[in-house]
């Protein structure tokens, strides 16, 4: 294997989260009754004219900025001609030689090694409808066409062939998804087809200058399959080259059940799309002012957020990674940290107790039974020494069960930590008097026995004493 180097370039389709379709006013809704969200434009009826959606363009601009691309002052829509039953116009309206934006990059990290992957271009296009193959019945094969998806705006993002392993491709796709989510371009729900990847894969001898002939694997709808498909394809290509064969340039599909890629069409059968400028749409002009107005409202993206978590909050790189896994987790964490006024403790609680809870209840962070403000308040109560850590661990499940604030639970269930030193001192004296053997052991140098004595005081205080204060008192009294 190490004789060869893997080369990968990805093409990612990302559904833009607009309210309406790109060239008509039909709502972009998922799961509506078939063909209920259609009109003459997205049905491709003759004579119907497209009108470009401003919101779609702005989302395309956001995607471009998130990917560090240069947005072109003028881009051109082009017809990409091909026949498919779920493409009634007979062409897709896409962009060709003058796309929305170009020359960007995404930074990724694999096993501690950072790397920059170039973005060739981002262009906009309309999605096709869906064919639903319903199988054989009543002595006929049925296929239904649902055009609700027809005209849904897509951004197609094309990377440079900069990735060198399936792990890098996985990291790239993951970061791409995060960027699109944080930039509020798309929810990127892969199960709803909001994000789809095509992987271009080739191998070459290490040190070779020219790229090898590539194979395109189409329509990978999960990152796990993306990685598995690339791994399979790399081995297949190396096998062919090692036995003296040549790679056929073709489009292949990944078969999830067999774990293999299979040929879909060869280069000879490739479509000639006969691209030409779309005569029904004017060139898309984006002024500096328009672009600046989008740049000004861009939300903070994961790279900047991770940096802030490291530098301002003093989190570890691993924690910053976990806490920027999704936009929701990141926002939740920031609200906990702000309420608690303690970013490190907030990170521990969110990554520990909260994530364990969500996992156990199979919930998203947006469905968390504990609000970030309540969790932050719990941490603040510990820091103000009103309760101790052990009590907090008892209060947290009560917050989950009742959605009550920690303050309410503390007051109602009598959780207040005893901060009155007089009261603690009395208990400490009692415990010392009741355990002469352990006190003797402590004084003779077996200092570990203090744990037993602290435990006895905590028990006598019903868990309400501050363990650190108890420790100090015991030490000073036995010195």
Buried b (16+ CB within 10 A) or exposed e, 29-68: eeeeeeeebbeebbbbeeeeebebbeebbbbbbbbbbbbb
Q: Give the residue with the Cβ less far from ligand ADP, 9 or 302.
A: 9
Those residues with Cβ within 8 angstroms of residue 338's Cβ, 6 or more apart along the chain or in another chain: 376
Residue 211 binding result from ligand ADP, Zn ion, none, given CB thresholds of 5 to 8 Å by partner type: ligand ADP
DSSP state of 367: G
Neighbours of 431 (CB within 10 A): 24
- Integer Cα distance of 360 and 368 in angstroms: 12
Report if residue 449 touches Zn ion, rule: CB under 5 A. no
Q: Give the residue with the Cβ less far from ligand ADP, 4 or 333.
A: 4
- Integer Cα distance of 215 and 251 in angstroms: 6
Q: Which two tokens stand for residue 357?
A: 């809870």
Longest dimension (CA), the chain: 99
One residue of 5, 11, 20, 39 binding Zn ion per CB under 5 A: 39
CB 150 within 8 A of CB 26: no
- Integer Cα distance of 320 and 332 in angstroms: 13
For Zn ion, what does the binding mask look like between residues 40 and 69, x meaning CB under 5 A? -xx---------------------------
Cβ at position 99, least distance to ligand ADP in Å: 12
Residue 24 binding result from Zn ion, ligand ADP, none, given CB thresholds of 5 to 8 Å by partner type: Zn ion
Residue 42 binding result from Zn ion, ligand ADP, none, given CB thresholds of 5 to 8 Å by partner type: Zn ion
Residue 104 binding result from Zn ion, ligand ADP, none, given CB thresholds of 5 to 8 Å by partner type: none
Report if residue 26 touches Zn ion, rule: CB under 5 A. yes
* Cα→Cα distances 374→24, 324, 389, Å: 44, 21, 16
Report if residue 22 touches Zn ion, rule: CB under 5 A. no
Cβ at position 262, least distance to ligand ADP in Å: 19
* Cα→Cα distances 8→160, 198, 233, Å: 8, 10, 11
Cβ at position 151, least distance to Zn ion in Å: 5
- Integer Cα distance of 151 and 43 in angstroms: 9
Beta bridge partners of 132: 144
Q: Give the residue with the Cβ less far from Zn ion, 89 or 227.
A: 89
One residue of 7, 12, 24, 428 binding Zn ion per CB under 5 A: 24
Closest alpha carbon to 215 in 190, 186, 236: 236
Comparing every residue's Cβ against ligand ADP, the nearest one is 9
Applying CB under 6 A, which residues contact ligand ADP?
A: 7-11, 158-161, 200-202, 211-212, 214
Residue 286 binding result from ligand ADP, Zn ion, none, given CB thresholds of 5 to 8 Å by partner type: none
Cβ at position 48, least distance to Zn ion in Å: 9
Query: How do 195-205 and 215-220 pair as beta strands?
Result: antiparallel
Cβ at position 213, least distance to ligand ADP in Å: 7
DSSP state of 442: H
Size of the site for Zn ion (CB under 5 A): 5
Q: Give the residue with the Cβ less far from ligand ADP, 119 or 378.
A: 119
Q: Give the residue with the Cβ less far from ligand ADP, 228 or 470.
A: 228
Residue 26 binding result from ligand ADP, Zn ion, none, given CB thresholds of 5 to 8 Å by partner type: Zn ion
Which residues of the chain form contacts with Zn ion (CB under 5 A)?
24, 26, 39, 41-42
């Amino acid at each position: 294997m190490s004789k060869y180097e893997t080369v990968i370039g990805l093409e990612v389709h990302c559904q833009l989260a607009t309210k309406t379709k790109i060239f008509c006013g039909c709502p972009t809704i998922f799961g509506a009754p078939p063909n209920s969200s259609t009109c003459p434009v997205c049905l491709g009826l003759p004579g119907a004219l497209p009108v470009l959606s401003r919101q779609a363009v702005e989302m395309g601009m956001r995607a471009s900025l998130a990917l560090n691309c240069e947005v072109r002052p003028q881009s051109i829509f082009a017809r990409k001609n091909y026949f498919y039953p779920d493409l009634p116009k007979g062409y897709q309206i896409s962009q060709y030689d003058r796309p929305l934006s170009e020359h960007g990059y995404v930074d990724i990290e694999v096993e501690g090694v950072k790397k920059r992957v170039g973005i060739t271009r981002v262009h906009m296009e309309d999605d096709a409808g869906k064919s639903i193959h319903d199988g054989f019945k009543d002595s006929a094969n049925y296929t239904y066409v649902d055009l609700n998806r027809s005209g849904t705006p897509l951004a197609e993002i094309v990377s440079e062939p900069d990735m060198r392993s399936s792990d890098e491709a996985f990291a790239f796709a993951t970061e791409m998804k995060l960027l699109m989510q944080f930039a509020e371009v798309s929810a990127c729900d892969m199960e709803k087809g909001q994000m789809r990847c095509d992987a271009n894969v080739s191998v070459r001898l290490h040190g070779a200058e020219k790229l090898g002939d590539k194979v395109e694997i189409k329509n990978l709808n999960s990152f796990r399959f993306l990685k598995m498909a690339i791994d399979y394809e790399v081995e297949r290509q190396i096998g062919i080259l090692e036995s003296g064969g040549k790679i056929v340039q073709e489009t292949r599909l990944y078969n999830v059940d067999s774990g293999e890629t299979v040929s879909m069409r060869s280069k000879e059968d490739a479509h000639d799309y006969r691209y030409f400028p779309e005569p029904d749409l004017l060139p898309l002009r984006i002024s500096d002012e328009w672009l600046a107005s989008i740049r000004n409202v861009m939300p903070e993206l994961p790279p900047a957020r991770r940096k802030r978590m490291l530098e301002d909050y003093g989190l570890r790189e691993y924690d910053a990674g976990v806490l920027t896994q999704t936009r929701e987790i990141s926002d939740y964490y920031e609200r906990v940290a702000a309420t608690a006024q303690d970013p490190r403790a907030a990170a521990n609680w969110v990554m520990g107790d909260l994530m364990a809870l969500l996992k156990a209840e199979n919930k998203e962070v947006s469905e968390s039974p504990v609000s970030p403000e309540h969790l932050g308040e719990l941490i603040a109560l510990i820091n103000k020494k009103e309760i101790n850590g052990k009590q907090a661990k008892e209060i947290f499940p009560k917050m989950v069960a009742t959605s009550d604030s920690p303050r309410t639970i503390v007051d109602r269930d009598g959780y207040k930590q005893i901060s009155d030193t007089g009261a603690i001192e009395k208990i400490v004296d009692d415990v010392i008097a009741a355990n002469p053997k352990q006190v003797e052991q402590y004084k003779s140098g077996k200092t570990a026995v203090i744990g037993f004595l602290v435990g006895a005081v905590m028990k006598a205080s019903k868990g309400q004493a501050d363990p650190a204060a108890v420790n100090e008192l015991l030490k000073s009294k036995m010195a």
